[in-house]
Structure 1
Amino acid sequence: MNAEFYRHPLSKADAAAVAAVLDTPFLTTGKVCASVERQIESYFGVPHAVLMNSWTNGAFAVLLAMELQPSDEVIIPAMTFIATANVIVLAGGTPVFVDVDPRTLLMTPESVEKAVTARTRAVMPVHLYGQMCDMRGIRHAVSRARSVGSEPIIIEDCAHCFEGARDGYKPGRYSDAAIFSFYATKNITCGEGGAAIFNSEKLYQRTLETRSHGMSATAIDRFREGRYNHWDMNRLGTKANLPDLLAALLPKQIAAIDQRLIERKRLAERYRSAFEAGPLRLVEQIGTGVSAEHLFVVGVGNGARDVAIARLNEARVGVTVNYRSVPETSFYRRRLGGLVNEWPVAKKWGDETLSLPLFPNLSQAEQDYVIATVRRVVYPLVDA
């Protein structure tokens, strides 16, 4: 049997939405995007949403809107995808890494409070694998740590967590902005894409400009009512807008996301039940949270992770690594001056983590094969 790591949920039936856009003269950011943005605002109960062409460019546009300076620090977890750190460097700021909770692999309010300095401009918690950080606690921690001066902006990295919740609230409740990914393997996808939601009116207005080269008018506004309208450039920006052609794939998925979560949870719980008594490390689930169940990850100890990958691949089980500790990558080791052992939890997990297939149309036979293969080829490596 061949158990693929991921299969997207889109089919030929979804092509009708794309064809409808092709029947209009406007392929780039227009009425379809505007409609999806209203849909996202309603889902999260926030005043503003902006579609982006990727999480990375969306986050970059938000940070450009902040006009970061080289001395400005942005606090992020050491366990995340490299994009979380890269956008800060690209926007001219300095990423400050904090270690994560050893049970959940999430940034904690305590680590944030210790890391806040007079140079902190923003804090970027990452909702890893689908579970939300304690955003209420992080907001309070930031307020306590900066009792004097302006409070740092909080930006949620929600690339793994569109439909998640914690303590009864969703992303966007305790932050100034939250950024999502619609990349090919995400729970909602249009191949490439993303979105940002805002509680901060000022940050929203500036990001509208920075997502389109800093221009004061979008393409649809520049040609409103069939005539050209002048525009200005108020600030430096990038090219981060999503076209209607891709946005057309999103409405049905957003409408069905909570229903599809039921199946993701069923599959994730089958994995947990199968592996909970074994030698693999599992991520602790937050009792007051609703995970988006974006990824199912296990920790393969005994220095056996890479051998496990090779043996699973030989057995035609698709796996990947999410993620190495960012400070352990060559670029950031050089940038940090060779610092080591500063983030031991992230390093250990980065050496052990392994992601197994998890998507709603994973069949029971496929999942049974993954479980049996992991037990057969991986368990002996850890127990050796």
Structure 2
Amino acid sequence: MKIEFYRHSLGEAEKRAVAEVLDSVFLTTGPKTAQFEEEFARYLGVRHCVGLSSCTAGLFLVLKGWGIGPGDRVVVPAMTFIATANVVLHAGAEPVFCDVDRETGLLEPAVVEEVLARDSLVKAVIPVHLYGQMVEMRAFRALADRYGIRLLEDAAHCIEGMRDGVRPGGLGDAAAFSFYATKNLACGEGGAVATDDEALRDYLAVGRLHGMTKSAADRHRHYRHWDMDFPGYKANMCDIQAALLLPQLARVERLWERREAIARRYEEAFTEAGVEFPKTLPGVKHARHLFTVLAPEGRRDEWLARLQEAGIGVVVNYRAVHLRRFYRERFGCREGDFPNAERIGDRTLSIPLYPALTDEEVERVIEAVKRLAGA
């Protein structure tokens, strides 16, 4: 029987929560969204959370809220999902790629500082907590303060993460999260931004709904004429999404514990077999969104094909962003520009990691990878 790359953890609690919404007045942004925003902010330890249609929308809206646009530059890692760089272009600014650490795939403060020291047009940095491991946020905060730039955490992989006592959103000016279908909290599509900045929260709350000064929930309680502060966007979370998220949030740590146990078993087995995988650093609580292994150079696609033939679901997260066709053609990016990101992008593949995996399935995955490593 095939072991799927991912299976969600939705069950009876989520069905009841959605049924409650379907029996209510609000399907769109309403009381369930407000409840999720409050509970997610409390979980993260931040003042504000704004529910959105995606992490991508969150990243984009934060950049717009900060006034970043034409003539500005934003630093992003060359190893990430394309959305991290694309939102910079959508805002009208220019992405500046940086290489990542060879062993973790994370953006490094020292490398970013080299860019900031020579480029005064950089207005923000988007550090990515890749696979669920946080970057060194204390060092990035000091860097941002020294150069007067903004920090926007891409925490799409990192709801449960922590590093040196710091959680996503704790030291950044804002952090964006994803609730896409395969994420640790999943509602099909969805996202959120966490921040301590009240002015940014207010901008996001209005900007996600066309720039309207009154939401549907506001108008329902007592109709008042609304106005438009600025031409906004359509990027709001709806109550159906929030209803799916709330029961998962209540057991998020228990779900994480199972993924952590699976990941530790992978690490134990692959260390013994000589299979490479990204290093988890001291002082880190890894969110364990993805578990990736590095195939020998030149064999990644062979490993992908053979694991799939063996009934193991696998994907690639990610190939280096700067080598995608658009960035090659638009910015002249070439192979060799960011060797660590390229090395990871050419060798990485992601194997199943989710709470519903049985111990037997975990061992099947391990044996399949070990057979390839010994071939």
Q: TM-score range by the shorter chain?
A: over 0.9
Structure 2 partner of 1:290: 285
Provide the residue aligned with 2:359 in structure 1: 364
Deviation, structure 1 residue 232: 2.1
Kindly state the Cα deviation for residue 12 of structure 1 after the two structures are TM-superposed: 4.1
Q: Deviations over 1:125-163 (max 9, x none)?
A: 00001100011101112223x2xxxx2111110000001
Give, in whole Å, the separation in 2 of the partners of 1:39 and 1:338: 42
Offset at residue 56 of structure 1 (A): 1.1
Secondary structure of the residue that 1:281 maps to in structure 2? coil
Distance in 2 separating the partners of 1:179 and 1:209: 17
Ranges in structure 1 where 5+ consecutive residues have no aligned partner: none
Question: What percentage of aligned pairs have identical amino acids?
Answer: 47
Would you say the 8 A contact 2:72–2:123 is kept in 1? yes
Pairwise CA distance, 1:286: 1.1
Distance 2:326 2:304 in 1: 25
Mapping of 1:334-373 within 5 angstroms?
Answer: 334-373=329-368
2:157 counterpart residue number: 160
Structure 1 counterpart SS, 2:203: helix
| Pair 1:233 & 2:220 matched | no
The residue type equivalent to 1:341 in the other structure is G
For residues 296-315 of structure 1, the C-alpha deviation after alignment (integer angstroms, 9 at most, x for no partner) is 00011230000110111111
User: How far off its partner does 1:217 sit?
Assistant: 2.1
Pair 1:320 & 2:315 matched: yes
Give the CA deviation at 1:67. Answer: 2.8
Q: How many angstroms apart in 2 are the aligned matches of 1:48 and 1:189?
A: 20
The number of aligned residues is 373
User: 1:69 offset after TM fit, Å?
Assistant: 2.0
What is the aligned partner in structure 1 of residue 267 from structure 2? 272
Name 1:251's counterpart in structure 2: 246
Residue deviations 1:260-288, cap 9 Å, x none? 21111110011011111334321111110
* Aligned-partner Cα distance in 2 for 1:66–1:334: 28
Deviation for aligned residue 1:242: 0.7
* Counterpart pick for 2:186 among 177, 184, 189: 189
AA of the residue aligned to 2:42: S
> CA–CA distance in 1 between the matches of 2:14 and 2:171?
35
| Aligned mates of 1:302, 1:223 — CA distance in 2 | 59
SS in 1 for 2:29: coil
Q: Is the 8 A contact 1:159 1:179 kept in 2?
A: yes
Residue matched to 1:261: 256
Supply the AA of the counterpart residue of 2:98. Answer: V
Aligned residue for 2:197?
A: 200
* Separation in 2, partners of 1:100, 1:239: 33
Distance across 2 between alignment mates of 1:67 and 1:213: 17
3-state SS of paired residue (1:114):
helix
Q: Which amino acid aligns with 2:183?
A: K
For 1:49, the aligned partner's letter is C
CA distance in 1, matches of 2:229, 2:9: 40
Query: 3-state DSSP class of the match of 1:250?
Result: helix
Alignment gaps of 5+ in structure 2: none
Structure 2 residue identity aligned to 1:133? V
Query: How far apart are 1:362 and its partner, in Å?
Result: 0.3
- What's 2:300 paired with? 305
Q: Take 1:12 and 1:233, find their aligned partners in 2: how far apart are those partners? A: 40
Three-state SS of the structure 2 residue aligned to 1:238 is: coil
Report deviation, 1:121: 1.6
- Aligned partners of 1:32 and 1:247 also within 8 Å: yes
Q: Could you tell me whether the CA contact under 8 Å between 2:297 and 2:346 is conserved in 1?
A: no
Between the aligned partners of 1:118 and 1:338, the Cα distance in structure 2 is: 21
Matching residue of 1:29: 29
Q: 2:130 aligns with which of 128, 131, 135?
A: 128
| Structure 1 residue runs of 4 or more that deviate by more than 6 Å after TM superposition | none
Deviation at 1:373, TM superposition (A): 1.1
In the alignment, which residue of structure 1 is the partner of 2:72? Answer: 72
Q: Tell me how far apart the structure 2 counterparts of residues 235 and 94 of structure 1 sit (CA, whole Å).
A: 23
Looking at structure 1, the residues matched to 96 and 203 of structure 2 have their Cα atoms a distance apart, in angstroms, of 24
Letter in 1 for 2:16: A
**TM-score under structure 1 length normalisation:** 0.94
Provide the rounded CA distance (Å) in 1 between the counterparts of 2:212 and 2:300. Answer: 48
Q: Tell me how far 1:224 sits from its aligned partner.
A: 2.8
Paired with 2:13 and 2:287, the residues of 1 have a C-alpha distance of 25
How far is the alpha carbon of 1:101 from its aligned partner? 0.7
